[in-house]
């Protein structure tokens, strides 16, 4: 990472941390360094070039080599397992999942930084090739190349850089079980717990009323429906009805992924920071 950005940003011989796992973790780490008063201003950079690697081999390698890797699991097959269990449990239709794709791809048309800038219809999503039941090709994001950089600074310096600073009010993280068999595959428990902690820190009592917009990691179509529920935007199992209501549309009460989300641009390892930057 340093050989790609050090000269460009003038960070030679300056304090540096690399391999944060995802841009969002680097963002929070940078905030912690500032809150510790060790630094006043921190640059966070995340980049990825998915076009230069075999994505199946990369994704398959994250699974346990003794129990799961030899099954051929990757991002697509594991997503199919999760979507099948979730949609079966809560009665979510393939059409409702497809509406997420239609929404996000439509939003991506208006984002000059989006990888995919073409609208799709529900029929096009449903009739695209099956990859991992019940998910089709268009239920998944593309593999994208990209980069994102952000400056974080303390309260005293913020207004030196801009008249409209964006404040970080709350954050939290929670990691679910490593093995798929140890997880509750129909609910995003880790996200639910993290959201509650972040809301508490930010003083958010009712996310439906208090949130204006949300940028989330929509790894596949039904995943965004699960995220609605974990964030408290609707009841458990209510993700399908929530997308039907139009509330997550760009002109709805709480737009979700107005940038087009990951379904329009999937810059692996940088997606978390991209979500923050899009806000």
Q: What is the pLDDT of residues 54-105, one digit of tens each?
A: 888 888 888 888 888 888 888 899 999 999 999 999 999 999 999 999 999 9
What's the pLDDT at 218? 97
Tens-place pLDDT, residues 171-181: 999 988 888 78
pLDDT computed for residue 265 by the predictor: 96
- The CB density around residue 157, as the number of other CB atoms within 10 Å, is 14
pLDDT band at 159 (very low <50, low <70, confident <90, very high): confident
User: How many helices and strands in the chain, by DSSP H and E?
Assistant: 13, 4
DSSP 8-state symbol, 189: H
Q: What is the sign, positive or negative, of the torsion defined by CA atoms of 49, 50, 54, 59?
A: positive
Q: Which residue did the predictor score with more confidence, 127 or 12? A: 127
Q: Which long-range contacts (CB under 8 A, 24 or more apart) does 74-79 make?
A: 75/219, 76/131, 76/132, 76/135, 76/140, 77/132, 78/180, 79/132, 79/135, 79/140, 79/219, 79/220, 79/223
pLDDT band at 34 (very low <50, low <70, confident <90, very high): very high
Containing 197, the helix (H) or strand (E) segment is helix 189-202
- Give yes or no for residue 232 having a pLDDT over 60: yes
Residue found under tokens 């966070």: 44
If residue 245 lies in a helix (H) or strand (E), which one and from where to where? helix 239-245
* Contact by Cβ (8 Å): 140, 79: yes
Three-class DSSP category at 57: helix
What does the domain layout of the chain look like in residue ranges? 2-278
Q: ω into residue 134 within 30 of 0, thus cis?
A: yes
Question: Average pLDDT of the chain?
Answer: 93
**d(C-alpha 206, C-alpha 191), whole Å:** 16
Domain 2-278 has CATH 3.40.50.300: no
Q: Compute how many other C-beta atoms are within 10 angstroms of the C-beta atom of residue 248.
A: 28
């Amino acid at each position: 990472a340093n050989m790609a950005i050090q000269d460009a940003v003038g960070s030679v011989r300056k304090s540096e941390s690399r391999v944060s796992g995802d841009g969002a973790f680097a963002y929070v780490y940078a905030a912690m360094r500032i809150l510790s008063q060790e630094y006043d201003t921190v640059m966070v950079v995340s980049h990825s070039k998915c076009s230069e690697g075999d994505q199946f081999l990369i994704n398959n390698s994250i699974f346990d080599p003794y129990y799961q890797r030899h099954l051929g699991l990757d991002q697509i097959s594991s997503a199919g397992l999760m979507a099948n269990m979730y949609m079966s449990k809560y009665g979510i239709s393939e059409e409702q999942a497809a509406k997420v794709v239609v929404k996000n791809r439509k939003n991506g048309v208006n984002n000059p930084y989006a990888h995919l800038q073409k609208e799709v219809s529900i029929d096009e999503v449903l009739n695209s090739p099956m990859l991992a039941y019940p998910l089709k090709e268009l239920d998944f994001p593309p593999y994208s190349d990209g980069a994102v950089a952000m400056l974080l600074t303390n309260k005293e310096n913020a207004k030196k850089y801009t008249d409209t600073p964006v404040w970080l009010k709350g954050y939290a993280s929670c990691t679910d079980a490593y093995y798929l068999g140890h997880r509750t595959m129909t609910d995003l428990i880790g996200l639910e717990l993290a959201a509650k902690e972040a809301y508490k820190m930010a003083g958010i009592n009712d996310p439906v009323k208090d949130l204006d917009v949300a940028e989330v990691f929509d790894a596949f179509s039904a995943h965004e429906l699960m995220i609605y529920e974990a964030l408290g935007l609707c009841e458990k199992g209510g993700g399908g009805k929530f997308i039907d209501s139009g509330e997550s549309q760009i002109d709805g009460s709480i737009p979700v992924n107005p940038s087009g989300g990951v379904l329009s641009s999937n810059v692996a390892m940088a997606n978390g920071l991209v979500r923050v930057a899009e806000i």
